[in-house]
Amino acid sequence: MKKEKSILTFGIVAMLTMNVSAQDSLTIKPIKDSLTNKQLNEVVVSASRSERNVNEVGRSISIITADDIKKSGANSISEVLSQQEGIYMVGAGQNPGMTSSIFTRGANSNQTTILVDGVRITDPSAINNSIDVSELALVNIDRIEIVRGSHSTMYGSSAIGGVVNIITKKVAKPGLTVDFSDTEGRFGKGTSFSNSHMYAGYGLKNGLYFSAEGANEKTKGLNATVDTITRAATYQHKDLSDGFNKWDANVKAGFINTKFDVYASYKYTQQIADIDKAAYTDDDNYTVNFHRDLYTYGAKYKINDKFNVSYIGGFSVMKRIAIDDSSLIDNNNNYDKTYSRSIYTGKLMSNELQANYTTKAVNIVLGGGANSESMSANTLYYYYNSFGFPPEYVSLKTSLDSVNPHSSTANVFLHTDIGGDLISEKIKAFTLSGGVRMTNHNVFGTNITYEINPSVKIMDGGLLFATYSTGYNAPSLYQLYDATRYYTWDNNYTTGLTRGNKKLKPEDSKTIEIGYKQHFSNITLSASYFQTEVKNVIEYVYLWNKNVAVDSLGTGFSDNYRGDTYLNLGTMKTEGVELGFSSKLGEKFMVSGNLSLVSGKLIYHPENIDTTQTAGNHVQLYSNGAFINKEVETIGLTRRPTTANLSITYKPLKKLSLRADMRHAGARSDVFYDNSLGPYGALGTVGVEPYTLLDLSAQYEIFKGLIAMVRVENVFDEKYSEIKGYTTRGRGVYFTLRVAF
């Protein structure tokens, strides 16, 4: 079986290498696709904040429609995104409810911007402000647009690796539309999966529409950590089935006619997940309860065929409650006699106004807006005093409320596309695009990003393009405001510095990309090469006594340790190649795939250390344990492998569709806490084996409006890891029944 899977993997990679294309190239004209029974999209809005023909935009783009999502049989957004080129999702194959992180083109997990209807969605209370992608659901989605590469000129902070814009549904026709589905299944011994979804929309002839949608997912899962029962003297796990429960509800109202497009929506998300303490460390009573209220709204007015103005905004409130209630620690039913509760809250507000002017040769977007974020964090740790002096139980409380963590930004941006025919008919195939954004942040001040994007049409349906773009990623509220200080037992050695560092600067990036995409009658192809350099990478560091040589530092806190903080310290360099293709082979076959190669390294220089935040003490990286008293270079990036995807659809009958999806992730490194990286320990790296997964599905239209699907996930029951120490799903079988009219 191993040999067969190796041959299969080789076949996938070889097949992808011989084809240069992508799902990010679509037809110039609407073509009725007999295999997918839908019209291919011809416009994209996320690349330039205006409606543009996707084959005329000189950026690497993928578009995923609602129909694509339904036919994939995916149960989460993470699964959908993991099949796209340039993206690796950590958590897509793990136990439902586990944290899911996105890595785009080798960028860090907080360097991809996630949008809903153009409104930025983050978690202000998270350490690095990145969103847990498992929070998002396959509810109320019209399409997902992905723009790979730096895009801060259009969308501001964190758009270094790319942008994922989730665009919600609008009722497109008068009358009632109903879509109901139920999925039941399992993905391992003792597991169960259930997801019920209901959508109803009603449109009036005058352009008014209303919609409501809800979904509930219930999972009885695997033990989320790798079972360590085979290790000597290790406590046998009691919690063999971590659970997950998720609710999503959405209501939307709007009005559309030839002049106006106005909408407002509200989305509620709540999920409760059983989690564990750490890799290889189970916990039988540790839960996280998360919920978010999200409001989005917008209005667009078409003044004439050339000029329109639009406004979009959003407001979001989220809360995360983590409770760990005295877990079992041995086979004698002994408890660790601890209780901890952490409550994190966050608020976001975003409002932007823009104007679009479009002619045959010129497209201009001018806009500006304001954004704000705030957070609070309150923790309680209650534990048994084992030292034998009163009180018997001790409680520790921490709070960030006194420092009022918040940030606000104001921005203006300009983007233009100028066609060569504005100057001469002889250069009409040439287009020069570019833009600039100026952002003012209340903590670190003004930041300017820009991009230059020339492209030229080659042959019929071909586009050669290049991009030079800059980007930035603002420090998180936690990194700026965490008020934790280090004090020794006698308070003699404290630096007086807080963990949060209000002197942090944003991470700055520069990206170059060269790409080509081509559309033939039934084939789309694309290829791109990119390089990105990110400076001022924010690192978590330990501080050690400057008066003691590094080689002589001991492990005693009172002697040598001087606290911890965040610093702008490193430079991250990544480069890669992306290839993709999509081909319709006759009336019964559709094949698509992609290959993404990525590599990277981190470089640290002592002269980059801000000594005002370290009091001149020695700096040790938590990420790898190195002391920055000389140049340090780390080759390779954790959790960012080479990936390949292949999808084949076959329709032997008009009502029957068969599909195979293969996903390959190459070898990569992961991190673990290594106490030998002294004096206090830090993160070490460990290799993670490559894996190849095969999913098979069959969809049958019983009669018009009633569709049944069966999907087998991880057909070979591959044993693999996304994160060392945590389990992934085994072979899964899912049955779906869908009614739509």
Three state DSSP letters for 317-358: EEEEEEEEECCECCCCCCECCEEEEEEEEEEEEEEEEEEEEE
Give me 488's structure tokens: 């020794």
Q: Is the dihedral of CA 620, 681, 90, 320 positive or negative?
A: negative
pLDDT tens across 225-251, in order?
886 555 444 555 555 678 899 999 999
CA–CA dist 714, 661 (Å, integer): 10
Pairwise CA distance, residues 116 & 520, whole Å: 32
Total Cβ atoms within 10 A of residue 285:
15
Q: Give pLDDT, residue 26.
A: 29
User: Please, are residues 289 and 321 in contact by the beta-carbon 8 Å criterion?
Assistant: yes
Higher pLDDT, 484 or 487: 484
CB neighbours of residue 271 within 10 Å: 22
HEC readout, 37-99: CEECCCEECCCCCCCEEHHHCCCEEEEEEHHHHHHHCCCCHHHHHCCCCCEEEECCCECCCCC
**Homologous superfamily of domain range 2-740:** TonB-dependent receptor, beta-barrel domain (2.40.170.20)
- pLDDT band at residue 10 under the 50/70/90 scheme: very low
Residue 9 backbone phi and psi in degrees, to 5: -60, -45
Sole residue written with tokens 């597991």: 191
pLDDT at residue 696 in the model = 98
For residue 40, is pLDDT > 50?
no
- Other CB atoms within a 10 A radius of the CB of residue 697 amount to 21
Structure confidence at residue 101 (pLDDT): 95
- Does pLDDT of 208 surpass 90? yes
How far are the Cα atoms of 58, 417, 420 from residue 360, in angstroms, in the given order? 17, 10, 10
Instruction: Write the CB contacts of 122 (distance below 8 Å, at least 6 apart in sequence).
Output: 114, 129, 130, 131, 158, 346, 348, 373
Asked which of 358-367, 517-526, 646-655 is least confident by mean pLDDT, the reply is 517-526
Tell me the C-alpha distance between 105 and 92, whole Å. Answer: 17
Region 515-542: what's the mean pLDDT?
A: 95
- Report the pLDDT value the prediction gives residue 585, as an integer from 0 to 100: 85
62: confidence class by pLDDT, cuts 50, 70, 90: very high
Instruction: List the structure tokens of 313.
Output: 């905004």
Is residue 689's pLDDT more than 60? yes
Where do the structural domains in the chain lie, given as residue ranges? Answer: 2-740
471 HSE (CA, 13 A, CB side):
31
Phi, psi of 608 (to 5 degrees): -85, -5
For residues 40-56, give the mean pLDDT.
82
Whether the pLDDT of residue 479 is over 70: the answer is yes
CB 109 within 8 A of CB 507: no
Q: What is the mean pLDDT of residues 483-505?
A: 80
**pLDDT tens string 325-363:** 876 666 666 777 788 999 999 999 999 999 999 998 999
Give this prediction's pTM: 0.91
How many degrees, rounded to 5, is the angle at CA 644 between CA 17 and CA 133? 150
Q: Residue 438, SS3?
A: strand
Q: What residues form DSSP beta bridges with 576? A: 530, 598
Higher pLDDT, 32 or 108: 108
Residue 21 pLDDT level (bands cut at 50, 70, 90):
very low
CA R_g for the chain: 26
pLDDT at 385 over 70: no
pLDDT at residue 558 is higher than 70: no
pLDDT at residue 22, rounded to an integer: 32
Residue 33: pLDDT over 50 = no
Q: What is the pLDDT of residues 398-455, one digit of tens each?
A: 888 888 899 999 999 999 999 999 999 889 999 999 999 999 999 999 999 999 999 9
Q: For position 337, what pLDDT does the model report?
A: 79
Look at 106 and 3; give whichever has higher pLDDT.
106
Q: How far apart are CA 313 and CA 369, in angstroms?
A: 9
Q: Is the pLDDT of residue 12 over 60?
A: no
* pLDDT > 90: percent of the chain: 71
pLDDT tens figures, 116-135? 999 999 999 999 999 999 99
Say if residue 224's pLDDT is above 90. Answer: no
Q: CA dist 440 to 222, 409, 412, 506, Å?
A: 47, 5, 9, 12
- The chain-wide mean pLDDT, for the chain, equals 88
Q: Dump strand ranges (E) for 171-306.
A: 175-186, 192-203, 208-220, 243-256, 260-274, 286-302
pLDDT higher than threshold 60 for residue 19: no
Rounded Cα gap, residues 89 and 68, in angstroms: 19
Structure tokens at 62: 């993928």
Q: Is the pLDDT of residue 49 over 50?
A: yes
| The 3-state secondary structure of 461-513, one letter per residue | CEEEEEEEEEEEECCCHHHHHCCCECCCCCCCCCCCCECCCCCCCCEEEEEEE
pLDDT value, residue 678 = 78
pLDDT recorded at residue 326: 72
| CA 468 vs CA 430, 435, 510: distances in Å | 17, 11, 7
pLDDT of residue 680: 81
Mean pLDDT score, 681-707? 95
pLDDT of residue 16: 34
**Range scoring the smallest mean pLDDT among 86-90, 333-337, 530-534:** 333-337
pLDDT in tens, 178-207: 999 999 999 988 899 999 999 999 999 999
Selected residue with higher pLDDT from 289 and 223? 289
* pLDDT, position 43: 86
Contact assessment for residue 209 and residue 215, using Cβ atoms and an 8 Å cutoff: no
For residue 493, what pLDDT is reported? 63
Q: What is the pLDDT of residue 401?
A: 83
Does the pLDDT of residue 629 top 60, yes or no?
yes
Q: Work out the average pLDDT over 709-715.
A: 98
Q: What is the pLDDT of residues 580-597, one digit of tens each?
A: 999 998 889 999 999 999
Residues 108 and 534: their CA atoms lie apart, in Å, by: 10
Q: How far, in whole angstroms, is CA 408 from its chain's centroid? A: 23
| pLDDT (mean) for 512-519 | 96
